[in-house]
Structure 1
Amino acid sequence: MAEMTVQIVTPDGIRYNHKASFISIRTPDGEMGILPNHVNLIAPLEVHEMKIRRTDHDSHVDWVAVNKGVIEVKDNVVTIIADSAERDCDIDLSRAERAKVRAEKELAEAEKAHRVDEMERAKIALQRAINRIRVGNHL
């Protein structure tokens, strides 16, 4: 079976490093599937839930909450450099739910006061919290 190495790196170090037969990611242009022997590529990433079909563990699927970043595909090595990334098994759902409530409150307050910068920060925080909840529920 053809495979590729998938590595996810954040400022905290390597968060993921496994062999895979398929990954699904989201760029500003939309969803993208990557298979082994994919053409070389560099693209920005959106906040999204990344699906990774591993070649070990009987084609187990890993879900990773990726918060923006860049993907590089070259010679069957997929490297993702992200602001942050969390595997489904590492997400604390109650913490993610609290972050969602907090972001919703901050967004409402910023909208009421017409503070554009705070609105943008709150929207991003809300998007990240929802993404973490979605990924955490894959368990």
Structure 2
Amino acid sequence: MASFRLQIITPDRIFYDDEAERLIVRTTDGEMGVLARHENFVGALPSGPVRIMKDGKYRVAALSSGVLKVSAEKTTIIAEAVEWADEIDIEWANRSAEEAREKIAKKESEKEMLYAELKLKRALNRINVHSGNIR
């Protein structure tokens, strides 16, 4: 299978910079796959799983919102945060989800509710990716 250059960048580091045979991400318009010679594309990425195929095997990571750009030269994801499934601190993710649920239950302000909902989505994404429960 033909490959393409994939680069995933966060504010802290270059998470991935290598060849890939396939990339599957969740965009705001739905799930999308990228193969070599894909047409140019730019799209928003909410929190969700990122699946990268290299040497015929998938590796999965949890992404916390970002932007995807596909061009002839390379495919780039600029993300708030990304971590491999096996690197996720599941205890921290579960605590984060519980804290977010508590804030949502308090219904303090609209701003706090929106922040807590985003925090909950990120935490649930990390939990699902860690457990292999990717929808």
* Cα distance in structure 2, aligned partners of 1:38 and 1:8: 17
Identity rate, percent: 35
CA contact (8 A) 1:36 1:76 kept: no
Distance 1:39 1:75, change over 3 A: same
Deviations 1:52-101 (CA, angstroms, capped at 9, x unpaired)? 1112xxx2211111111111111251110011111112111111111111
Among candidates 105, 117, 120, match of residue 114 of structure 2: 120
Superposed, 1:82-93 pairs within 5 Å as 82-93=79-90
Match of 1:40 in 2: 40
Deviation readout 1:8-47 (Å, 9 max, x if unpaired):
1000020122321111111111111111110111111111
Matched, 1:75 2:69: no
Secondary structure of the corresponding residue to residue 126 of structure 1: helix
| Corresponding residue of 1:103 | 100
**In 2, distance between residues paired with 1:15 and 1:31?**
21
The answer to whether structure 1 residue 134 and structure 2 residue 131 are counterparts is no
Alignment of 1:8-87 (within 5 A): 8-55=8-55, 59-75=56-72, 77-87=74-84
Alignment-mate amino acid for residue 95 of structure 2: R
- How far residue 123 of structure 1 moved from its aligned partner, in angstroms, is 0.1
Unmatched tracts of structure 2, length 5 or more:
none
Give the Cα–Cα distance (whole angstroms) in 2 for the partners of residues 122 and 42 of structure 1. Answer: 28
Q: Distance in 2 between matches of 1:89 and 1:4?
A: 24
| TM-score, normalised with respect to structure 2 | 0.92
Aligned pair count reads 133
Q: TM-score, normalised by structure 1?
A: 0.89
Aligned equivalents of 1:119, 1:51: Cα separation in 2: 30
**Does the residue aligned with 1:130 lie in a helix, a strand or coil?**
helix
Q: What per-residue deviation string (whole Å, max 9, x for no partner) do you get for residues 88-132 of structure 1?
A: 1211111111111111111111x2x4x110000000000000000
Partner residue of 2:7? Answer: 7
